[in-house]
Amino acid sequence: MPNFFRAWYVFVGLSLLSFVFTAFVGSVPAEVSSAVALPHDLIGSAGRNLRTTLVSLFDRAELRADNATLRDALADSEASVRQLELRVQELEALLEVRRNQSPGAVLVAPVVGWSRSPAIDTLTIGAGRRDGVVRGMPVSAPAGLVGIVVEVAETRSVVRTLLDPRSRVGVAVRDKGGQGVAVGEVGDLVRVDRFIPASSLEEGDVVETTSYGGLFPRGITVGVIREVLPQDPNELRRSFLVQPAVDFPALTDVVIFTPQ
C-alpha cells in the first residue's frame, strides 16, 4: 500500500508539472511526458486549453484598452476641430465687419450675459482690460450696430446696447440724408425724435450711423424704419421707430472697434 501511495504522489506531481509546463511554457520536457504517458495527454490538453483561454482574455483586455484610447483620441480631435471652426467663424465675422463697416474693427468677443429691464439693456462680453478693451469702444456685429462699451474689468466688459433708454446714437437715413439721434425704446425698438429730414421718409428705409457725437464710425446699419409717427403740422422735424438690424436674443459674438 505505501508503494501505491508513493507511486500515486509521483504521478500527481508529474501531472501537475506537466500541466504547468503546458499552460505557461507551451511544451513539456520529454522526460516528464514519458513518465506521465496517457494521463498526461488529458492533463496536457487541459493545460493547453487554459493557456489559450488566458491568452484570449489578455488579448481582449488589450483590445478594449486600445479601443478606449482611440475613442478618447477621436473625442479630443472632434473638440479641436470644433474650436477651429468657431475660430474661423470669429475671423470671418471680423473680416466682414472690417470690409463693410469699419477698418477699425480689432477684436471678436463672446456674449456671456444680457441684462434687461425697462431702465437698462446691457450685454456682458468675455473680453476686458487684458484684451485691450477700453470705455467708449463701439460694438457691432455683421448685421449692424450693437452699442458701446461703458464698463471694463480685467476679463469682462459691459456694453450698453441700442435698446437701452440711455443710449444715444447719431443717425441718418441711407441715401436720403437727414440728421437725428436714436434712443432705446420699449418693445425692442429704437426711437428717433426731432429728426431733420432731407427728403420724405418711408417704412423700410435703412437707418445708419453718422459721425454726430464722434462715438461711432459713419455708415453702420442701425436698422430699418418700422413706423413714421404722425407729424405736428407746425413741426418740420419728424419722429419714427426703427427695427434694429441686430437680433439681440440670438447674438453670440460681437466685434469691437477702436474708439473714434
Q: For the chain, how many structural domains are there in total?
A: 2
Residues 66 and 93 in one domain: yes
In the numeric block, the cell 483561454 is attached to 53
Which of 202, 247, 198, 209 lies closest to 225 in space, CA to CA? Answer: 202
Instruction: Single out the residue in 100, 134, 149 at which a domain terminates.
Output: 100
Q: What is the CATH number of the domain that holds 130?
A: 2.40.10.350
**Are 143 and 27 found together in one domain?**
no
Same domain, yes or no: 8 and 43: yes
Are residue 121 and residue 243 in the same domain, yes or no?
A: yes
Integer CA distances (angstroms), 7 to 51, 118, 140, 218, in order: 28, 102, 97, 109
Do 226 and 202 share a structural domain? Answer: yes
Q: Are residues 92 and 197 in the same domain?
A: no
Regarding whether 132 and 79 lie in a shared domain, the answer is no
- Residue 122, domain extent: 101-257
53 and 85, same domain (yes or no) = yes
Whether residue 122 is found in the same domain as residue 83: no
Whether 93 and 121 share a structural domain: no
pLDDT by residue for the chain (260 residues), tens digit each? 555 545 545 555 555 655 555 555 555 455 545 544 445 455 556 556 666 766 666 667 676 776 777 677 766 666 666 666 656 676 677 677 777 777 788 889 999 999 988 889 999 999 999 999 999 999 999 999 999 999 999 999 999 999 999 999 999 999 998 899 999 987 789 999 889 887 889 999 999 999 877 789 899 999 999 999 988 777 788 999 999 999 999 999 999 998 76
DSSP 47-93: HHHHHHHHHHHHHHHHHHHHHHHHHHHHHHHHHHHHHHHHHHHHHHH
Domain finish residue from 83, 100, 117: 100
Q: What is the DSSP string of 170-182?
A: EEEETTTEEEEEE
Q: Extract the C-alpha cell encoding 233.
A: 403740422
Same domain for 105 and 94: no
Residue 222 in 3-state DSSP?
strand
Residues 88 and 107 in one domain: no
